[in-house]
Amino acid sequence: MNLYYLTLVLKPEMDEKVRKGLLDDMKKNITIKKEDLWGERALAYPIKRQTKGFYAHFEIEADPKDIKGLDKSLKLEEDVLRFLLIRR
C-alpha cells in the first residue's frame, strides 16, 4: 500500500448529488486518509470553456494496481476538468 495525493478540479455547475456520487464512486478501492473540499474557485485560465472549478483534495492509501484503475476512470470522466495524482 502506497500513499498518494489526489487533487481534482470538477465542473462547477454539477449538482451536489452528482458530485457526491462521483466522489463516492472514486472511493471504492482506496482508503481515504484525509478529505479536504476547497469548494468553487476561479481558474487561472479557462479549461474546457470553464472559468471556475470545484476543488477537492485527498490524501489516500491504495495499492498501485488500484491507482491505475482510478487514473483511467478519472481520465474518462467528463465532469473532471483536471486532476493531479502523485505518490507521496
Specify the pTM: 0.89
CATH number of domain containing 9 = 3.30.70.60
pLDDT in tens, the chain (88 residues): 899 999 999 999 999 999 999 988 888 889 999 999 999 999 999 999 999 999 999 999 999 999 999 999 999 999 999 999 999 8
Q: What separation in angstroms does the CA of 71 have from each of 16, 29, 42, 52, 86?
A: 23, 12, 24, 23, 11
pLDDT digits (tens, 9 = 90+) for 29-43: 899 999 999 999 999
| Any domain includes 31 | yes
Task: Render the burial of 40-52: b for 16+ CB within 10 Å, e for the rest.
Answer: eeeeeeeeeeeeb
CA atoms of 20 and 3, how far apart (whole Å): 23
Domain assignment of residue 38, yes or no:
yes
Q: Please check whether residue 88 lies inside any domain of the structure.
A: no
In a domain, 74, yes or no: yes
pLDDT at 26: 85
Check if the beta carbon of residue 6 is closer than 8 Å to that of residue 77.
no
Is 83 among the domain residues? no
Q: Which residues pair with 5 in a beta bridge?
A: 59, 86
Residue 84 located in a structural domain: no
**Domain coverage including residue 51:** 2-78
**Residue 87 domain-assigned (yes or no):** no
What is the number of structural domains in the chain?
1
In a domain, 85, yes or no: no
DSSP lists the bridge partners of residue 52 as 42
